[in-house]
Amino acid sequence: MLRVVVEGCQWGDEGKGKITDFLAQQADVVVRFQGGNNAGHTIVFNGQKYALRLIPSGIFNSNIKNVLANGMVINPKALIDELDSLKKRGLKSYQLFISDRAQVVMPYHIDIDGAYEEMLAEQKIGTTKRGISPAYCDKASRIGIRMGDLVNPTYFAQRLKTALIIKNKELASFGLKEYSFESLYNEYLNIGEKLKKYICDTSIMLNNEINNNSKILFEGAQGAMLCMDHGTYPFVTASSPTASSVPLNAGISPKYIDGVVGICKAYTTRVGEGPFATEICDDIAQQIREKGNEYGTVTKRPRRIGWLDLVVLKHSIRVSGIDNLAITLLDVLEGIDDIKLCYSYNFDGKEIDYIPSTIDDYNKCLPNYITLKGWKEDISNIKKFEDLPKEAQNYLRKIEEITKVNIAMFSVGADRNQTIVLKKIFK
Ligand code: GDP
Ligand code: IMO
Ligand code: MG
């Protein structure tokens, strides 16, 4: 396999950053293809912890080309801040490429994100308030600003004027402050100047890499259950984190995707509102939250906790063609006597193993569990599958048996080295 997608199988925060960083050690290119700084990807190596938001997880290796592809929505101020803070922490040489076709998250998008959430009140989505959905809305409304526009002064003026005709009306109708063309124009032209050296046609670049047989990792943000089409709509993000969206969002042909690695926690978490069939709110949930440090990387919100839901996992496997799994945070389950694994739901008196399309119906689904014996041993230093306690081995084998997908790797700690490979991804 040369071109591999790393995709979250749940509601985000599955450890995509960690697994991308691990696999990136053998890759030539790492590509973020959707989302924006709603993502928070944690990487730990050499005793240092980094939380990346917009920048791909290959940035620490100067041989790797890091791409922010056309499917992303980029807040360029946040990007400059992220780069500056990495440089302060020692990042010296790196390769970064930003698609000229990626959408720009403008300040009014952030205002509108907040306003929607406030107006939705009880029905709010619980967004990260980073302006992600309003930026994607403008893309579809054809009034979006793109990264390439910022380096073309005359064209940018025209695009910004057009956008502000509509945006200022919208802001005023929400009782929000309107934006003057001059202040935004000068500020964003300046930002464009700073980022100019990175902005290019990344589709041309990626196709050249493909022609050179480069190893390419596509790093998903969020997770399949937050997909606009296949997730728990409306409690989703505004893009598609699934592997199917990679070709469009990176400007390559679908025939070049060789494999999809699904990243899945050994349990489930969710930040924000929306259905969560296997959610638990007891002492075990708190134990998992503390041991797994389950607090949002971006918003610091405590993450909701639940048992591993294999209906969710099978759904993600189906919509994305996941052919290998990486199970993360297995160490967090240590010390739990009985571990539950959801294999189907009870819905209206029937057993189902799919996800209903409406939230109304999904909220009526009750999980059916099998209970497996847990383990007491600390597994954070193990180096191979056979070192795991029998109970942990059984847990992983059960996941494979029910999903019918191989576990190619699993993870027993946040550090890059705490990763056990059962099957090589890049051949
Ligand atoms: P992402 O958004 O999918 O990249 O995931 P996040 O970085 O938001 O959240 C995953 C969290 O789990 C981070 O704090 C990681 O450092 C941590 N992590 C990843 N893998 C493991 C693991 O196997 N064990 C433990 N204990 N922590 C892990
Ligand atoms: P990573 O890449 C977890 C959630 C938000 C909210 C919903 C919509 O770190 O896994 P948005 O701001 O995107 O409009 O919010 O999606 N969400 C995430 N949850 N991890 C993420 O990213 C997320 N990005 C968005 O909490 O419920
Ligand atoms: Mg995250």
For ligand 2, atom 5, the nearest C-alpha belongs to 127
CA–centroid distance, residue 188 to ligand 2 (Å): 26
- Cβ of 239 closer than 6 Å to ligand 2, yes or no, is no
Q: Which ligand is nearest to the CA of 224?
A: 2
Classify domain 3-98+199-260 by CATH number.
3.40.440.10
**Distance from C-alpha of 413 to C-alpha of 415, rounded to nearest angstrom:** 6
What are the contacts of 287-294 at 24+ separation with CB within 8 A? 287/335, 287/336, 288/332, 288/333, 288/336, 291/331, 291/332, 291/334, 292/267, 292/329, 292/332, 294/13, 294/269
**Distance from C-alpha of 181 to C-alpha of 145, rounded to nearest angstrom:** 13
pLDDT of residue 177: 97
Atom of ligand 1 nearest to the CA of 291: 26
3-class SS string, 166-205: HHHHHHHHCCCCCCCHHHHHHHHHHHHHHHHHHEECHHHH
8 A C-beta contact, residue 345 and residue 353: yes
Return residue ranges of the chain for CATH 1.10.300.10. Answer: 103-195
For ligand 1, atom 16, the nearest C-alpha belongs to 414
Write down the CATH superfamily of domain 103-195.
Answer: Adenylosuccinate Synthetase, subunit A, domain 2 (1.10.300.10)
Helix H segments across 212-307?
A: 246-250, 283-291
- Cβ of 133 closer than 6 Å to ligand 2, yes or no, is yes
pLDDT of residue 427: 75
Name residues whose C-beta falls within 8 Å of residue 397's C-beta, 6 or more positions apart in sequence. Answer: none
Residue 175 CB: number of other CB atoms within 10 A? 7
Tell me which of 38, 45, 130, 329 to substitute to probe ligand 1's pocket, judged by most ligand atoms within 8 Å of the beta carbon: 329
Reported as a single tens digit per residue, the pLDDT across 401-414 is: 999 999 999 999 99
8 A C-beta contact, residue 351 and residue 324: no
pLDDT beneath 70: ranges in the chain: none
Q: Distance between the two ends of the chain, CA-based, in angstroms?
A: 6
CA–centroid distance, residue 153 to ligand 1 (Å): 41
The DSSP symbol for 253 reads -
pLDDT of residue 367: 98
8 A C-beta contact, residue 45 and residue 60: yes
What's the Cα-to-Cα distance from 422 to each of 117, 326, 406, 410, 425, rounded to whole Å? 44, 10, 9, 8, 9
What's the Cα-to-Cα distance from 181 to each of 150, 188, 253, 398, rounded to whole Å? 14, 11, 39, 59
What are the contacts of 77-84 at 24+ separation with CB within 8 A? 77/191, 78/37, 78/53, 78/54, 78/105, 78/130, 79/37, 79/54, 79/55, 79/195, 80/191, 80/194, 80/195, 82/37, 82/52, 82/53, 82/54, 82/55, 83/55
Return residue ranges of the chain for CATH 3.90.170.10. Answer: 264-421
Surface-to-core class of residue 65, CB atoms within 10 Å of its CB (0-12 exposed, 13-18 middle, 19+ buried) = buried
Classify domain 264-421 by CATH number.
3.90.170.10
pLDDT of residue 298: 77
- Cβ of 13 closer than 6 Å to ligand 2, yes or no, is yes
Hey, CA dihedral for 182, 184, 185, 190, is it positive or negative?
positive
Return residue ranges of the chain for CATH 3.40.440.10. Answer: 3-98+199-260
CA–centroid distance, residue 7 to ligand 2 (Å): 14
pLDDT of residue 316: 98
Surface-to-core class of residue 245, CB atoms within 10 Å of its CB (0-12 exposed, 13-18 middle, 19+ buried) = buried
Q: State what percent of residues in the chain have pLDDT above 70.
A: 100
8 A C-beta contact, residue 29 and residue 214: yes
Q: Which sequence positions are flagged as catalytic?
A: 13, 41
